[in-house]
């Protein structure tokens, strides 16, 4: 049977095996999907061993995405732009192709929620790996303006300069943000420390859409905060998780699984429904 797995550390709580097993059942693909948690300095050797042993493809998650970028034979344009690889496929001619489906997953989930990015004003919080992965797919939707705000402003400026050729992207310090945004995306890891990005409550209004790439059984701190200040449409990163997986499955198997039912089952599995 064709074998796939997800590399991460820690990865024990990954939902990827659950999601891909449901995709495989739904599309009647014969495959198995497991977990690998190599020591941080053993990733390259473990990856090599997996493919030498007949593995067909893998997902890569924290903290290995940047390392995976340097280990594959060829990069998709979106992985090149992201500077990170979350999906690897062994091609028929024996080449390891590195791809990045995170940003496509975000955009697919926004669309699934009816958020139209065309001509909208978007605020992206954070300038780390998650923001970098999202930028090209977001700009491809042609927002009228995309502003990046980051605690370390220089990093936001650098990202904006790097993606400038793809659309109207600028960097602004948190304190200088103003005007009416249609969508705010939180890509920061602030909530891991129980923290919030330093955003002025006045930026929140009833029509705004709020997206937090993080997720949990209850509202993330950022979503909780946005609701308190009047946001009515809030979304967490669970949908993005399922959509990036669907994109990876499509890369591997050439068949696109449906995501709605799988997202419902995942929520049930997490005790959210
Ligand atoms: P990831 O790969 O998840 O993006 P990362 O590359 O470590 O992780 O980036 C984390 C992002 O969250 C950064 O933009 C970071 O801001 P800095 O560049 O200033 O470090 C942001 N971040 C983390 N904790 C934060 C906090 N408490 N408030 C605001 N931003 C925070």
Q: What are phi and psi of 55, to 5 degrees?
A: -60, 145
3-state secondary structure of 65: helix
Residue 192, pLDDT score:
87
pTM: 0.96
The runs of H, that is alpha helices, within 28-182 are 43-52, 65-71, 77-82, 102-112, 129-139, 153-162
62 C-alpha to ligand 1 centroid (Å)? 14
* Mean pLDDT, the chain cut into blocks of 10 residues (273 residues total): 97 97 98 97 98 98 97 97 98 97 98 97 97 97 98 98 97 97 97 93 98 94 98 98 98 98 96 84
Place of tokens 């007949």: 54
CA 220 to chain CA mean position, Å: 16
197 lines ligand 1 (CB under 6 A): yes
Residue 46, pLDDT score:
98
Residue 41, pLDDT score:
97
Q: Is residue 233 within 8 Å of 209, Cβ to Cβ?
A: yes
Residue 102, pLDDT score:
98
Q: Is residue 258 within 8 Å of 242, Cβ to Cβ?
A: no
Among candidate residues 176, 62, 57, 186, the one with its CA nearest the CA of residue 134: 186
188 lines ligand 1 (CB under 6 A): yes
The catalytic position among 65, 172, 227, 260 is 65
Q: What are phi and psi of 20, to 5 degrees?
A: -70, -30
Residue ranges with strand state E in 183-232:
183-186, 209-212
Q: CA 150, CA 54: separation in Å to the nearest integer?
A: 42
Residue 261, pLDDT score:
97
Q: CA 261, CA 255: separation in Å to the nearest integer?
A: 17
Tokens encoding 240: 């993005």
Relative to beta strand 145-149, strand 121-125 is parallel
134 C-alpha to ligand 1 centroid (Å)? 14
Active site residue 65: yes
């Amino acid at each position: 049977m064709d074998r796939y797995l997800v590399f991460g550390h820690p990865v024990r709580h990954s939902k990827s095996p659950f999601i891909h097993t449901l995709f495989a059942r739904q599309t009647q693909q014969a495959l198995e999907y497991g977990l690998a948690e190599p020591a941080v300095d053993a990733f390259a050797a473990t990856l090599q061993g997996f493919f030498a042993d007949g593995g067909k493809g893998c997902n890569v998650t924290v903290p290995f995405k940047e390392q995976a970028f340097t280990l594959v034979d060829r990069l998709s344009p979106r992985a090149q732009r992201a500077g990170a690889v979350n999906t690897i496929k062994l091609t028929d001619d024996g080449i390891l192709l590195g791809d990045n489906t995170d940003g496509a997953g975000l955009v697919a989930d926004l669309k699934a929620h009816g958020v139209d990015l065309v001509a909208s004003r978007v605020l992206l919080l954070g300038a780390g790996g998650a923001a970098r992965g999202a930028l090209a797919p977001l700009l491809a939707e042609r927002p009228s303006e995309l502003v990046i705000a980051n605690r370390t402003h220089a990093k936001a400026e650098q990202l904006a300069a790097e993606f400038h050729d793809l659309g109207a992207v600028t960097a602004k310090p948190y304190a200088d943000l103003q005007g009416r945004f249609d969508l705010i995306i939180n890509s920061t890891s602030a909530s891991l420390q129980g923290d919030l990005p330093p955003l002025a409550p006045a930026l929140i209004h009833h029509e705004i859409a709020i997206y937090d790439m993080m997720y949990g059984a209850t509202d993330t701190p950022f979503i909780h905060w946005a609701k308190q200040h009047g946001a009515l449409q809030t979304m967490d990163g669970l949908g993005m998780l399922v959509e990036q997986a669907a994109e990876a499955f499509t890369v591997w198997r050439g068949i696109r699984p449906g995501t709605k039912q799988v997202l419902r089952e995942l929520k049930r599995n997490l005790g959210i429904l």
